[in-house]
Amino acid sequence: MPQSSNSKDTLIRNARLIDGTGAPWFEADLRISGSRIAAIGVSLPAEEADIIDARGCYLAPGFIDAHCHDDLICLREPDRPEKVLQGVTTLVVGNCCFSLYPATAGSAEMLRLHFSGLAGETRTDEVFDSFDGYRLALEGPGVALNLVSLVGHAAIRLAVLGYDRRAASSEEIAAMQALLAQQLAQGAAGLSLGLVYPPSAFADTNELCALAETVRAHGKLLTAHIRSYEAGLLNSIDEFIAILRASGAAGLLSHLQSAGKPNWGAIPKALDRLEAARAEGIDISFDMYPYPAGFLHAAIVASGGARRRHRCATRAAARSGPARGAARAGGGGRSRSACRAVQDRADRLAQCAHLRHRQSRAEAARGQVDGRCRARARHLAVRSHGSLHRGGPGSDRHHHVPAR
């Protein structure tokens, strides 16, 4: 925020500056005037400035959390101290086809359930008809961080086709393009695909290329959780490159990884493909998360089939007469039961996975403790042996092992 005319500048002395270009850090002073960096250099003059001595400390621009799913929590907890205290100043949300907008009257409930499968129970008033609606909801209470919001492909498709597992018609593609164009014009940063998650996974190349052309026309970005990061990684990268080549859009491949031990050697080949595409003139990049973890709620994938079975049973009952409809009511009930059963099983699987993860962490921790104890015992044995040796036969030295 702008400061008053009589406010002092801030001068940070002797910091180890990391400028974000990839260059090594260097020691220098940095002067802040108002809300901007006014100067960087060695031994800057200190006139009219509050001085902070940062000797031995690092100074860097705010970090960008380039791939997160904080769309919902930023509405509920706008201060986000856990991000701010780590130096994060900008979040990129709406990734992997998941966003809280746009929703129509007919798709709002589907979108609410879709996002709930990722980030937990989402309320009806936390789903919005457009980017503008989401932005205004954030700006009302204010939010501590900068947000870059992508439009989720799932929201676009749900608004036009629902969960229909089929290729979109030319009219439906045009409707999706128009809805996407509206969000991009309002300020959304691009479109995110989630080609493993229904309903984004149901899109064919024609649909994806058409939407990518809309992204290019607005000068925005197309990001993709590609169809496979396992055995199909290279084919999935080829599909994304082909979409960018055909549309001319700039693209970002989300969280590049090679999942599953048999596929770990595929990363060099993946990088070769990406570098070849860039050499061809395709604007493609990628991001990665720097830790060995991942998450997928089984219900996100499994529930699509259950929803389709429930929808088919409901339609069949509606098409039949009252008597036949009553006779088929049990089918709809069975389908709803099947949907609940799938959700319950997914929850149990998730709980079991969580328990196995905790157990493996506990076993690893015990192994580390046991290893430290063995190392400590060997160390003490060496010390004891050396002391006894120095003391000679009959030495009365005793060695007390402190409790740990």
Q: How far apart are CA 237 and CA 156, in angstroms?
A: 23
Per DSSP, which regions of 75-115 are E strands? 88-93
Q: Which of 130, 76, 81, 82 is nearest to 103 (CA)?
A: 130
Average pLDDT over residues 125-136: 98
CA distances, 6 to each of 10, 12, 51, 209 (Å): 13, 19, 16, 55
pLDDT band per the 50, 70, 90 thresholds, residue 35: confident
List beta partners, residue 93.
149
If you average pLDDT over every residue of the chain, what do you get? 81
pLDDT, one tens digit per residue, over 198-254 is: 999 999 999 999 999 999 999 999 999 999 999 999 999 999 999 999 999 999 999
pLDDT band per the 50, 70, 90 thresholds, residue 20: confident
Question: Can you give the pTM of this predicted structure?
Answer: 0.71
Q: Which residues does 404 contact at the CB level (< 8 Å), separation at least 6?
A: 373, 376
Q: What is the pLDDT of residue 333?
A: 45
Average pLDDT over residues 78-100: 96
Q: What is the pLDDT of residue 373?
A: 44
- Helix, coil or strand: residue 147: strand
Length of the chain: 404
Average pLDDT over residues 310-323: 46
Q: What is the pLDDT of residue 347?
A: 53
Q: How far apart are CA 14 and CA 53, in angstroms?
A: 7
Q: How far apart are CA 170 and CA 80, in angstroms?
A: 43
pLDDT, one tens digit per residue, over 262-298 is: 999 999 999 999 999 999 999 999 999 887 776 665 5
E strand or H helix at 218: none
CA distances, 386 to each of 40, 389, 390 (Å): 57, 5, 6
In the sheet that holds 250-253, the strands lie side by side as: 151-152, 190-194, 221-225, 250-253, 284-286
> Phi and psi (nearest 5°) for 131?
-60, -40
- Helix, coil or strand: residue 149: strand
Q: What is the pLDDT of residue 334?
A: 43
Q: Which of 244, 304, 296 is nearest to 274 (CA)?
A: 244
Q: Is the pLDDT of residue 391 over 50?
A: no
> Phi and psi (nearest 5°) for 395?
-60, 140
Q: What is the pLDDT of residue 5?
A: 52
Q: How many CB atoms lie within 10 A of CB 121?
A: 10
First to last CA, the chain: 52
